[in-house]
Amino acid sequence: MSESTEKQFDPRMHSAEHIVNQTMIRMFRSGRCFSAHIEKKKSKLDYRFDRTLSEIEVTELENRVNEVIAADMPVLEEFMPKALAEAQFSLNRLPEDAGEAIRIIRIGDYDACPCIGPHVTSTGEIGRFRVISTSFESGVLRIRYKLGKPEGRDV
């Protein structure tokens, strides 16, 4: 992975993105985000959606994501042949030169998806997830979030 890629993706924020995506799927039957801007201080995810989220839904999203983080699930990587990965996952967010062995990131039994970014080794390293704002415009729901420091860990 290049140095510029390492700077682009913070492992804690990037791992949180995976959990938010799976939580959005479970709560709203949405797809994974189609666009993400992941930074160390705050990040944003864009979803194809039909409305804004209510305050109750935002609170529920935060609670569910934080439950997964608190469960301290292992974050593991595996590689599978591209043909097998294509049968199980959407590969549209991977670079065209991703190769024939596709890296899959698994967060316990909660989520699995193809990914090239750096990740934590367990969800307990992520820290408390907080939605700082949401907006909705032209069929796009944007969720902006921050992470607190993980309790009892040096990060």
Angle formed by the axes of helices 11-28 and 55-70, nearest 10°? 120
What CA dihedral angle connects 119, 122, 126 and 129, to 10 degrees?
110
Domains of the chain: 3-147 (3.30.980.10)
Task: Select from 132, 121, 104 the least CA-distant residue to 12.
Answer: 121
70-83 confidence digits (pLDDT tens):
999 999 999 999 99
**Tens digit of pLDDT for each residue in 62-120?**
999 999 999 999 999 999 999 999 999 998 888 888 888 999 999 999 999 999 889 99
Write the pLDDT tens digit of every residue in 119-148. Answer: 999 999 999 999 999 999 999 999 999 999
Q: How far apart are CA 141 and CA 118, in angstroms?
A: 25
Three-class DSSP category at 32: coil
The span from the CA of 86 to the CA of 51, in Å, is: 30
